Amino acid sequence: MSFFSLWWKDLPSKQRIAVKKLLDTKQLEFVAGGWVMPDEANVHYLSYFTQLIEGHQFLQQHFNVSPRNGWAIDPFGLSTSLNFLQTRAGINNTVFMRTHYILKHFLRENKATEFMWRQLWGK
């Protein structure tokens, strides 16, 4: 959101209206909505929530929207806590690509690429 906010700040009102229309018609969606893209593999929960709150506040103030979907692009993997933290932030789904090739093959073969990701602790 930090780079988007810089773009938004200088955007003429006509283009702002067009962006808001795309959001209203669901042709544009903000995913995750964090102020930055954190390191998903080993981020501290306080750092994760701090940047997420800042991004979500920006989206609420300017568009009255809250992200419901996530997108994990980190090339180094994901933490077992990531889905736990995102769920508490209101994010219901996350798309991620980086996983071990054996697991990816297993999920494809078993038609299980959509799954409920749960950690061993918590709900």
- Provide the annotated active-site residues: 74
Q: Which residues contact 22 (CB under 8 A, 6 or more apart)?
A: 28
Strand partners, 96: 72
Question: Any bridge partners for residue 72, and if so which?
Answer: 96
Spatial contact of 40 and 79, defined as CB atoms under 8 Å apart: yes
Strand partners for 94 = 70
114 three-class SS: coil
In this structure, the number of other CB atoms found within 10 A of the CB of residue 21 comes to 11
